Amino acid sequence: MKISEILKEDLINTSLKGNTKEEIINEMIDLLVKSSVADKILDKEKVRNCIFEREKIMSTGVGNGFAIPHGKTDAVSDIVAAFGITEKPIDYQSLDEKPVRLVFLLVARENMVGPHIKLLSRISRLMNKEEFRQKLLTLSSPVEILETFKNEESSYFDI
């Protein structure tokens, strides 16, 4: 499964307004619920709980200004994702203690462990590239961001 198969224009927000990790995660969940994948969200509160429970284990602020809040729950009928850029750097309790601006939310069904891990790995691999992260920060439209993900993904993975 490719990132570009699950990420769509209406799942991208280039100006997240939240001032805290919690506000940003809630904005990302709201983005899912108001999007073309809304029918795949069976219970918004259970999705929210699974993401915040995962955050309690260890921050998903993985470093270099990037966070990947994620979880597995039967409150979704399929894998769903959203991507956002914060308007300003957010303290996310990141592993490197640096603020976050790029956020990729990923939620999968409990029984989709393999695809979930594969997507987390792909997202992490792309986002580990400094040039890619910097380019995303310069883009202002979901169309440009989606195209950038598609191009970067095709250069990394056999598709």
- Return the active site residues: 70
Phi and psi at 35, nearest 5°, equal -110, -170
Q: Is 90 exposed, middle or buried (0-12, 13-18, 19+ CB in 10 A)?
A: buried
Between the CA of residue 93 and those of 15, 51, 105, 145, what are the distances in Å? 20, 15, 16, 25
3-class DSSP state for residue 88?
strand
